[in-house]
A and B are shown apart, each in its own frame.
Chain A
Amino acid sequence: MVGIIGYGVYIPRYRIKTEDIAAVWGEDGPKLAKGLGVYEKSVPGPDEDVATIATEAARNAVKYARIDPKDIGAIYVGSESHPYAVKPTGTIVLEAIDGSHESTCADYEFACKAGTAAIQTCMGLVQSKMIKYGLAIGADTAQGRPGDALEYSAAAGGAAYIIGEDNPVATIETTVSFTTDTPDFWRREGEDFPSHGARFTGEPAYFRHIGSAARLLLEKTNTTIEDYDYFVFHMPNGKFPVNMGRQLGVPKEKLQESLVVRKIGNTYSGSAMIGLARILDIAEPGSKIFAVSYGSGAGSDAFVIRVEKEIEKHRGEVPTVDDYIERKKYVDYATYAKYRRKIKALA
């Protein structure tokens, strides 16, 4: 059955504390951090972008899977911060993992769910026997306008998943999606920072789409919340996924382990995929995972994933999500602004 042959993540080393951003804008830091459920966020180095983050994650995934990268027949990179407006990030990743030139490649965009859309595409290609393995990546170096609420959460990171049929470390049993035209968050061509519908991002956007996809998936699989050991929801902040869990009746402890957002912020296309990786790092074989992504605009992809015994043979190959979370160096707002090119006068 189709599943995850290997996966890998990458989170940049730099962090900035919510309190330090709040201090610049005269806000109450501790209160803000607690309200958002984000205490610090990852910041990419000045020489890091989606191509380098995607490559590091993909190299980890290949090593974890112990496959020949030449057997990867498709590469899809989902992001809203591709380094080029025209020239696919996937071409750079393909070359950097020493992949085969005889493969197909494209970049995906769907706000924070572009990477899970890539997983679904790879599942289809694998199951129709068009390719042996597909590489699906979600990575972002998200930017918030200085002083905007988004600045507290917009972070950088990525995850790569190799999808195939032989000996998966986790089987993807079912997937469903829910999509509508909902303008909760957008960025027009040529604009540096995104715009959002403020309060509109909650009920009609995030909660409606994840909730609908989740209910659809339960219906399709004829299961209930009790049938699952772990839940992963997209994490725009630390509050939304917890509220989503409450609405669906998910016990707190089944969601807790995936909430990487508290320590790294919202990695956009990487968010739900890094959350899922955190669970795959620790879950016992036989565990059932219920994962739902969310992309503004808007849509959700939901997955039922079963962890296989095979996973035990692969652990210890590459750094875990926690290894990356713990490898950190704090920077102040000035350094952060310099790295993120918020200072326009500098080249």
Chain B
Amino acid sequence: MAEKPVAQFWRKIRSVYNIVGTHCKTCGEYYFPPRPVCPNCRRKGELEEYKFKGLGKVYTFSVVRQAPPEFKRQVPYVIAQVELDEGPRLTAQIVNCDPEDVHIGMRVRACFRKIREMGGGGIIVYGYKFEPTMKVTGHNKE
């Protein structure tokens, strides 16, 4: 059986798995999601594909306590506007952090998560969410 929304998710795989957008070489602006034309420069704009570093901070957020059935298992969860270090803002879930610990300005990094499942027999949609940046100790025993 053919599934209707498969193509629309498949087209976005590259961009949502690795946060790939565009960068205008003329004015220096970064865009996510990717844009076909730079709104600042119009015809003078020169866009190139750009892979974001995946680092940024929480610009604003809200805690979801009433969710649609398919997300009930995750309640309460945090949806935030994340401002990437390169400039663009995107909406994403904050994970690996309790809702009470999320704050505006918190440093976050992109991680890879399941976004939704199209029913028990449908496709699984993956993509970015954000988590607090992690402590790296430096691999020494002491």
Contacts and interface: CB of A to CB of B under 8 A. Distances in A.
B141 A83 contact: no
Contact of A92 (B14, B115, B126): B126
A95 B140 contact: no
Interface in B108-142: 111-115, 124, 126, 129, 134-141
B74 interface: yes
B138 A315 contact: yes
Contact of A96 (B70, B96, B126): B126
B138 A83 contact: no
Q: Is the interface of B mostly helix, strand, loop or mixed?
A: mixed
B114 A47 contact: yes
A47 B129 contact: yes
Given A45-B95, A47-B129, A51-B124, A59 B139 contact: no
A227 interface: no
A339 B73 contact: yes
A95 B17 contact: yes
Nearest to A93: B112
Interface range on chain B (Cβ under 8 Å from partner)? 20 to 34
A277 to B, nearest CB: 10
Given A52-B113, A96-B112, A346-B73, A47 B136 contact: no
A312 to B, nearest CB: 9
Interface stretch (A176-184, A247-255, A321-329): A321-329
Interface of B: 13-14, 17-18, 51, 69-70, 72-74, 93, 95-96, 98, 111-115, 124, 126, 129, 134-141
Given A51-B124, A59-B112, A316-B139, 9 more contacts: A45-B113, A49-B114, A52-B111, A56-B112, A282-B140, A316-B137, A323-B136, A323-B137, A339-B73
